[in-house]
Amino acid sequence: LHTVNRFLESRLVFESKIEIESNPETKNRNRIVTFSESINVLPNLLFYGPPGTGKTSTILAAARELYGPHLYRQRVLELNASDERGIQVVREKVKNFAQLTVAGTRPDGKLCPPFKIIILDEADSMTAPAQAALRRTMEKESRTTRFCLICNYISRIIEPLTSRCSKFRFKPLANQIQEERLLEICEKENLKYTKESIAELVRVSEGDLRKAITFLQSAARLNVDKEITERAVLEIAGVVPPKMIDHLLQICFTGTFEKLEVAVRNMVNEGYAATQILSQLHESIIEQDLSDKQKSAITENMAVVSKCLSDGADEYLQMLSLCSVIMQHASQNN
C-alpha cells in the first residue's frame, strides 16, 4: 500500500491532480487515492510478493475507493484462478470488457477516473498463450482500461507483460502492522490474550497476515474460554519444541547414526512437518559453533532438501539425509 502511494506521489510531479489521503502504515484504513479531477495517470499495475501481504486487498480497496459501490460492478472486472482464464476467455471476455468506453463522472455527479480496471488475480497460474493474448489488448485499450496483474511468482509472468506494467513488490508485513491488526481483531472479538502470545503469533506467521489471522481464529476456537495462550499458538502452528531440535543437533554432533535414525523417526512419527523441522534446524544451525565453511555446506544441502520436499519427496528420508550431512560436516573440523 505504501509503495503504491509513494508511486502515485511521485506521479504528482507530472499531474498534480491526485490527492493522497492516508498513511496505511500508521492507520490500516485502506484509503488510497481520491481523484479530484479526471486523470489518466494510473499505469498498468503488477503486484507481486509472498502470500497474505495485502495485494488483493490493496487493489480491491483502491477500486472501491475510486468508483464507489455503484459504479464498482460496471467498472471493475475481477478474474482469479478460480475463473476460467484460458486464451478463449482473454480473447472474448477480457477483450470485450476492455473495449467498452466509460465516462469520467459518477451518476451522483462526482468525478471518477475515465477508465475501467481489469484485475487478474493469481496471474501466475495463467498459461503462457493466455498471457501472450493479453499483450496487444493491453496496449490497444490503454485509453479506456487499466490492468492489474497480481501474482506470487513474478518469474511466471512473461516478460512482454512485465514490461508493460509498473511493478510493485509487496514485502512480508512488518511485525508492528501485524500486531496492531491482530490486537484490533482481539478487541472486537472480546478475546483474552497476552502480549507474548500475540508476539508469538506474529513470529510464527513470518510476515503473512492471513496466516496469523487464521492461527488466531483456530487458537480462539481451541480454548473454550476464548483465551489465546502462547502454548496454543505454538501447538496450532505446528512449531517443533526447541528442546527437540537441540536434542537432534546434539545427536548429529556427538551421537551415532543409529541414534540419529531413531530420533528422526520419532520426530516424523510425532507428526511434525519436515518443512517446519527444516526451517527450525536452519535457524539453529546458523547460531551453532561451526566454521563458516561447515555452515555453508550444510545450508546448501538444506536448499536441496527443501526443493525435494516441495517436489513431494519422502519426509523421513529427506530429514535423515539432511541430518547425516550435518553429522558428516560437523565431524570434519575445518
CB closer to Mg ion out of 56 and 137:
56
Instruction: Choose from Mg ion, ligand ATP, none: what does 114 bind? Cβ within 5-8 Å by kind.
Output: none
CB closer to Mg ion out of 135 and 181:
181
Compute the least distance from the CB of residue 58 to ligand ATP, in Å. 7
Compute the least distance from the CB of residue 227 to Mg ion, in Å. 31
Compute the least distance from the CB of residue 55 to ligand ATP, in Å. 3
CB closer to Mg ion out of 155 and 269:
155
Buried b (16+ CB within 10 A) or exposed e, 273-289: ebeebbebbeeebeeee
CB closer to ligand ATP out of 3 and 34:
3
CA distance 326 to 334: 14
CA distance 88 to 307: 34
* Phi-psi sector, 168: left (phi>0), alpha (psi -120 to 50), beta: beta
Instruction: Choose from ligand ATP, Mg ion, none: what does 255 bind? Cβ within 5-8 Å by kind.
Output: none
For the record, the C-alpha cell of 55 comes out as 495485494
**Which residue's C-beta sits nearest to Mg ion?**
56
Instruction: Choose from Mg ion, ligand ATP, none: what does 54 bind? Cβ within 5-8 Å by kind.
Output: ligand ATP
Compute the least distance from the CB of residue 77 to ligand ATP, in Å. 17
From residue 40, alpha-carbon distances to 12, 16, 77, 277, 282 in Å are 12, 12, 19, 50, 48
| Segment interacting with Mg ion (CB under 5 A) among 48-56, 104-112, 152-160, 161-169 | 48-56
What is residue 110's DSSP assignment?
-
Alpha-carbon radius of gyration of the chain: 25
CB closer to ligand ATP out of 152 and 306:
152
Binding site for ligand ATP (CB under 6 A): 1, 24, 28, 51-57, 152, 173, 177, 181, 209-210, 213
Instruction: Give the strand pairing for 116-120 and 76-79.
Output: parallel
Rule CB under 5 A: is residue 58 a binding residue for Mg ion? no
| Segment interacting with Mg ion (CB under 5 A) among 16-24, 37-45, 56-64, 291-299 | 56-64
- The phi, psi pair for 271, rounded to 5°, reads 95, 10
CB closer to ligand ATP out of 152 and 166:
152
Among 5, 44, 53, 56, binds Mg ion (CB under 5 A): 56
CB closer to ligand ATP out of 177 and 326:
177
3-state SS class at 52: coil
3-state SS class at 215: helix
CA distance 84 to 256: 55
Residues that bind Mg ion (CB under 5 A): 56
